[in-house]
Structure 1
Amino acid sequence: MGLTVGIVGLGLIGASFAKAYKENEENSVVYGWNRTKSVTQMAQMQHIIDGELTDENLGTCDIVILSLYPEATINWMEEHKEHFNKEGLVIDACGTKRLVCEKGFEIAKENGFLFVGCHPMAGTKFSGMGHARGDMYFGAPMVVVPPRFDDMFLLDRVKDLLSPCGFGSFHLSHADEHDKMIAFTSQMAHLVSNAYIKSPSARNHKGFSAGSYKDMTRVAWLNPTMWTQLFLENKDNLIFEIDHLQEELAKYRQALVDDDFDGLRDLLDEGRKIKEEVDGI
């Protein structure tokens, strides 16, 4: 008997989870819910899901994956809190963890089900069910924020239930630690890329750009509504990273203004050494 899976939110992330279970878990049953009813119907027509996720079948799900924006995730959990399987697992897929985990752990504890914060470190520049892939998570890292760190079997349970998705690694984290690191590794990359492309030179780049330009601008193509909410929920950590970057850029700018060859070379060499130190050659 395969797993019974509930997917809440059938965009890129949620539909990719649905496809992973349908393609890689024999005899699985996948139910899906989306705010826009036509998306749910289309997912069923395309055999991405087997049927609509309802209060009646929610309690049969071995795992429920909430693939909504953070506030919507909390609201959906609150509205359906009495219907989750008490023996199952509920996870989210949000890009920030403090708010979702604080509220989610509280709702789960009060209603007798298990909620674990999760963040799949995968995606594309596109959004929507039409770009979903069953191999989206293959080899990708999954960050796991558990409600407690004294349960030796909890991570194994998460791994087992997510095994059809093919994650390459699982990393335990506190919500605070997650949001601090995500501000640096993900949110700053999106913000800087999005600001960089606003240069007046951008519209004339063709013929002058190659890999560096593509690497720098890839994530400028983002979902504005989703990233606005994520940025604002993590604004303390993101502002810290912005301030630090501005301080560093000011050093490069001053070296250029002063025609300071040695100073500029030292700044560049410092960055090269740090990159080698943290990521290897």
Structure 2
Amino acid sequence: MIFGIVGLGIMGGSIAKAIRSNIANKHSGGLSDVKIYALDENNDSLCAALNQGVIDKSFSPAQTKEMLGLCDFVFICLYPNATLDFLKECKSDFKDGSTVTDISGVKQNLSKNYEKICPSNAYLILAHPMAGGEKEGFAASKSEYFKNHNYIIIKKHASILSKPISYQNGYDDAEKQFETIIKMMGFSRITKTDSDTHDNKIGFTSQLCHVVASAMVESAGDSAITSFGGGSFEDLTRIAMINAPLWTELFLSNKEKLLKHIDTFKNHLDDIEKLIECNDAKGLESYLQDVRNKRIEMQRN
């Protein structure tokens, strides 16, 4: 099987390294003669991946059609808007019967355009590996990046149900193989949902967290404040070392849902502020105990 990686940054690089370490080198999952190809406009990243033995062959953007025509399984590791553009431009270039997936952190725009971007001869599975960090680029990638993390797969698009039974069966088989592959890569849990639910939940668990971390850093006013930290500030603001272009795109792509989460968060801040302002010890203790209980319950899930 030939894997293709489009975009060899921290995510694409980590996917390539996870496949190399956990699948290709171990000859696992019943996949024979595993090779990894990569496409990127950054030649330094491609050279590093080749020199480290992570990939078997590199391709430039001018060779996109050539690489896609060779690959059995393609990971598109680009920013959301670039992912949409790539699929629109290259939908006819994929190998017959291949599986294509993305890693985009927002899904509704891809789902809305699914019929326009889905190759007629391949299987497009929208998905989102739930792993990330404050670093970027191939140099920051690592094979164990995904260990024990969650992978979200977007449920089969409605348009697939109008396709021939042979295509529907092929899609189901591709999805099963995809699940096997991502488990071998190190992911411990697979969640299946629709694109709207994905964007709403991710708007809270990921995007709002980055908003809060950014606001906290801006509120500090003093870079030396870390001298007074005991771990809490560091834990809460690590993700504020943000990839600004990517997160600008993610925030704006999920604007409606994210703004609702921000508004709800602000309301809860107001509640805490009022309890403190009024010296309401009983109310504040009750509020904090309730929060503690809810967080404990979250851990059980």
Q: Normalised by the size of structure 1, how large is the TM-score?
A: 0.91
Cα pair 1:86 1:112 within 8 Å, conserved: yes
CA deviation profile, 1:94-118 (whole Å, cap 9, x unmatched): 1111112332453215x33210111
**Partners in 2 of 1:254 and 1:63 — Cα distance?**
54
**1:115 match:** 124
TM-superposed CA distance for 1:180, in Å, is 0.4
**Partners in 1 of 2:41 and 2:192 — Cα distance?**
31
Cα pair 1:64 1:91 within 8 Å, conserved: yes
Q: Within the alignment, does 1:125 sit opposite 2:134 as a pair?
A: yes
Q: 2:155 aligns with which of 134, 137, 146?
A: 146
Cα pair 1:86 1:114 within 8 Å, conserved: no
SS at 2:142 equivalent? coil
Cα pair 1:187 1:238 within 8 Å, conserved: yes
**1:23 match:** 21
User: Which stretch shifts more, 4-13 or 256-265?
Assistant: 256-265
Amino acid at match of 2:125: V
Cα pair 1:31 1:50 within 8 Å, conserved: yes
Cα pair 2:107 2:196 within 8 Å, conserved: yes
Gapped runs of 5+ residues in structure 1? none
**2:228 match:** 208
Q: Normalised by the size of structure 2, how large is the TM-score?
A: 0.85
**1:218 match:** 238
Q: 1:159 aligns with which of 179, 190, 209?
A: 179
Cα pair 2:8 2:39 within 8 Å, conserved: yes
**Partners in 1 of 2:266 and 2:183 — Cα distance?**
42
TM-superposed CA distance for 1:153, in Å, is 4.3
Cα pair 2:114 2:157 within 8 Å, conserved: no
Q: Within the alignment, does 1:36 sit opposite 2:42 as a pair?
A: yes
**2:84 match:** 74
Alignment CA distance shift 1:38-1:104 (3 Å): farther
**Partners in 2 of 1:250 and 1:264 — Cα distance?**
12
Cα pair 2:3 2:71 within 8 Å, conserved: yes
Alignment CA distance shift 1:39-1:71 (3 Å): same
**1:84 match:** 94
Amino acid at match of 2:47: Q
User: Which stretch shifts more, 80-89 or 33-42?
Assistant: 33-42
Cα pair 2:99 2:174 within 8 Å, conserved: no
SS at 2:106 equivalent? coil
User: Which stretch shifts more, 269-278 or 129-138?
Assistant: 269-278
**2:287 match:** 267
TM-superposed CA distance for 1:81, in Å, is 1.4
Q: Within the alignment, does 1:249 sit opposite 2:247 as a pair?
A: no
Aligned length: 278
SS at 1:198 equivalent? helix
**Partners in 1 of 2:114 and 2:10 — Cα distance?**
22
**Partners in 1 of 2:260 and 2:295 — Cα distance?**
20
Cα pair 2:125 2:175 within 8 Å, conserved: no
C-alpha RMSD of matched pairs (Å):
2.1
TM-superposed CA distance for 1:208, in Å, is 2.2
TM-superposed CA distance for 1:154, in Å, is 4.9
